[in-house]
Chain A
């Protein structure tokens, strides 16, 4: 597995962990992996990105629902 593929896989894993955090569902195994892998900084970045995405979705939904 190339280094690039490995980074992408890790990133996807972080995204999955953050999404799991949003709905409050995470397996024990995955949780332990997240803690053991380190990468707190990356996790925070992904978390912040997801938060911004969530806000954009809410604002868009409200604006599309309101008339005018």
Chain B
């Protein structure tokens, strides 16, 4: 009876051991991912998991068997001895062998994970409160990646979209079949860049550069989502990562588009914009880049993020207003938007802030004024 039950339990455990993929699909296990490294990590994880399971089964099995077999009601008497050299050697040697058996594959995977040499593409990733900045080294391409989920979705004023809190304006695009090296750092507090499907999770630490890499196999083109994995402030949950894997050819086209877009932006900044155009653009930029701290209606947030509605700076000090948006305010949470926004966007958002929520100054800030202020 006992033997049959034990046999049945062993069959279940063995069945589970042989079906790691099924467990991953179940959703309780870690994802297998799409890269060679992620597969290696998954296999290592399963190996260690089953070693632990079998240790547990053996240790608790012996323990419960002993408790049952040598119970007091059967008249068992505890044997009293001080030392047992053989037993002590056994319980030292067995864990040592098990640890070495685990260390060998673990070391192999770690070496694979940390080998960032011979990369084809290098991307510097900088964490900001609360967005990611991507710079493609040597390609003259760089941008910020901002959350696009609207406040209406966040505050339940409208239905939540399919990729709620998981969509951004600019995807980080990588080619498949190429080794991509990520250089990860931070501009303010500690963040962590995490995309589970490529098994990359690295802390972004101010003043320090962490490295990692991934090679997404050809044929695995698609969107892979991740998030900040280090509590980094009030909007920690609002800085997702969207990684887009494309073919090498598509990647080259995308790089060319990015460079062309940059040239077009610079040319656009020299053009003339009407008050209405700046207000429309400014409202969009404000919602995306400013509302998180200063509030959707410019009402501010506590004593840390000042209100812009009725603010003396927004009403009377245009030079100061331009300066604080371009350069930020040292010692405060107000960061520099010089690299985050284009000249047109900065002009638009300042115009918007000086005329929205009853500020009504009637003043227009042009992109040319921003270019001059940056000199």
Contact = CB atoms under 8 A, between A and B. Distances in A.
Interface stretch (B85-93, B120-128, B175-183, B228-236): B85-93
Contacts of B115: 67
Contact of B85 (A27, A66, A67): A27
A31 to B, nearest CB: 10
Contact of B111 (A25, A27, A28, A67): A67
B88 A25 contact: yes
B83 A27 contact: yes
A28 B82 CA distance: 9
Nearest to B82: A28
Contact of A65 (B82, B83, B107): B107
A18 to B, nearest CB: 16
A23 B111 contact: no
B92 A23 contact: yes
A28 B83 contact: yes
Nearest to B92: A23
B92 A24 contact: yes
A25 B82 contact: no
A66 B111 contact: yes
A20 to B, nearest CB: 10
Contacts of A25: 85, 88-89, 92
Q: For chain A, which range describes its interface: under 10, 10 to 19, 20 to 34, or 35 or more residues?
A: under 10
Interface in A8-65: 23-25, 27-28, 65
Contacts, number: 15
A65 B92 contact: no
Interface string B89-105: 10010000000000000
Nearest to A27: B85
A28 B85 CA distance: 10
B176 to A, nearest CB: 25
A27 B83 CA distance: 7
A35 B85 CA distance: 19
Residue of B82, B85, B92, B107 with most partner-chain A CB within 10 A: B85
A32 to B, nearest CB: 12
A67 B111 CA distance: 8
Contacts of B92: 23-25
A65 B111 contact: yes
Nearest to B104: A65
Contacts of A24: 92
Contacts of A27: 83, 85
Contacts of B89: 25
Nearest to B93: A23
Contacts of A67: 111, 115
B187 to A, nearest CB: 33
A4 to B, nearest CB: 29
Interface in B271-322: none
B88 to A, nearest CB: 5
Interface string B347-362: 0000000000000000
A17 B85 CA distance: 14
A60 to B, nearest CB: 14
Interface in B328-375: none
A24 B91 CA distance: 11
A67 B85 CA distance: 40
Contacts of B88: 25
A25 B88 CA distance: 7
B90 to A, nearest CB: 10
B89 to A, nearest CB: 6
A25 B95 CA distance: 14
Interface string B104-115: 000100010001
Minimum-distance CB pairs A-B, first 6? A25-B88, A23-B92, A65-B107, A27-B85, A25-B89, A25-B92
Interface of A: 23-25, 27-28, 65-67
15 contacts: A23-B92, A24-B92, A25-B85, A25-B88, A25-B89, A25-B92, A27-B83, A27-B85, A28-B82, A28-B83, A65-B107, A65-B111, A66-B111, A67-B111, A67-B115
Given A28-B82, A66-B111, 10 more contacts: A23-B92, A24-B92, A25-B85, A25-B88, A25-B89, A27-B83, A28-B83, A65-B107, A65-B111, A67-B115
